[in-house]
Amino acid sequence: MIMKSAWNLVGMALWLLLIIYFAYIIHDMRARRLRLIVTEKKSFTWHNFWISFGELVVFLLFLWGMAYSTFFLDVKKMDQSRITTSYAYKPLIIRYRADQSDYVMVRTGNGRKPIQNYTYYVDGGKYLVNSTNATIVYGKSNLNVQAETYKWNKEWLDHLDTRYQHAWVATVTTTYKKNLFNGIGLHAGRQADRFSLIRIPDKSFMYVVGD
């Protein structure tokens, strides 16, 4: 795993402390029970129970906080001061073929919830994305319902339509800032989200594999 920021060491240290604390709880519960058996000839007292209960509650709260920060953060609901958002725009390169020229190739996967894979070319290389983090739009509008969940400069998208004849790709990338709060969840410096808006003039410029 590549360390994107030294702030992530904070999160790693907290996870290590959580593991150490869990081991301490197990040891402490066992030691107190043995002490009870030796000194009071009992295996259970309410005082000992509440001590164990308190230790377990602290552990579970700590675990919930770390798990939420590490695995369940929704970047779309986060304070914008914790993330940076960048936009990139490139014209699509048409792929010439004997029967039909196209800007993007679409291949539908298999499974219970099949996703579509999109392949397109821009200056600098070939890109493969899928329908979970990309969408294709064509026709009069350069946005659809899926793309509108992101904040685009619509005037600039209209400008791209004019400049590149409705054939371009816009990519929005969200990255966690390198700070203490993001480091706690091991996210500092890491990519949070990436979405590509693939714009083509009309459906005839989309080659669907299998059609």
Question: Within a domain: residue 3?
Answer: no
Considering 57, 72, 87, which residue would you say is the last residue of a domain? 72
Which pLDDT value is given to residue 211? 52
Distance of CA 27 to the CA centre of its chain: 37
For 62-85, the DSSP string reads HHHHHHHHHH---GGGS-GGGEEE
Q: Which tens digit of pLDDT belongs to each residue from 164-198?
A: 999 999 999 999 999 999 999 999 999 999 999 99
Whether residue 125 sits in one domain with residue 190:
yes
pLDDT higher for 50 or 211? Answer: 50
Do 18 and 121 share a domain, yes or no?
no
pLDDT at residue 163 above 70?
yes
Does any domain span residue 113? Answer: yes
Q: Are residues 101 and 202 in the same domain?
A: yes
Domain boundary among 44, 72, 100: 72
**Model confidence band, residue 210 (pLDDT cutoffs 50, 70, 90):** low
The pLDDT tens digits for 114-139 are 899 999 999 979 999 999 999 999 99
Residues 64 and 95 both lie in one domain: no
- pLDDT, tens digit (0-9, with 9 covering 90-100), for 61-113: 999 999 999 999 888 778 888 999 999 999 999 998 877 789 999 998 777 77
113, 17: one domain: no
In a domain, 126, yes or no: yes
Residue 81 is predicted with a pLDDT of 86
Give residue 2's pLDDT.
Answer: 56
Instruction: Please answer whether residues 55 and 62 qualify as being in contact, where contact means their C-beta atoms are separated by less than 8 angstroms.
Output: no
DSSP letter string, 12-69: HHHHHHHHHHHHHHHHHHHHHHHHHHHHTS-S--HHHHHHHHHHHHHHHHHHHHHHHH
Distance CA 156, CA 168 (A): 12
Say if residue 60 is in the same domain as residue 107: no
- Whether 206 and 92 have beta carbons less than 8 Å apart is answered as no
Query: pLDDT digit string (tens) for 143-154?
Result: 999 999 999 999
- Give the pLDDT confidence score for residue 69 in this predicted structure: 93
Residues 102 and 30 in one domain: no
Q: Does 68 share its domain with 86? A: no
**Domain shared by 145 and 201, yes or no:** yes
Number of domains in the chain: 2
Same domain, 62 and 81: no
Does residue 31 lie within any of the structural domains?
yes
Amino acid at 183: G
Integer angstrom CA distances of residue 116 from 11, 73, 97, 193, 206: 35, 26, 22, 18, 13
Q: Is the dihedral of CA 76, 78, 79, 85 positive or negative?
A: negative
> Structural domain of residue 187, as residue ranges?
77-208
Q: Which tens digit of pLDDT belongs to each residue from 5-29?
A: 899 999 999 999 999 999 999 999 9
Domain match, 63 and 114 both: no
Residue 187: helix, strand or coil by DSSP? coil
The structure tokens 């793309």 sit at 147
Does 176 lie in the same domain as 106? yes
pTM above 0.85, yes or no: no
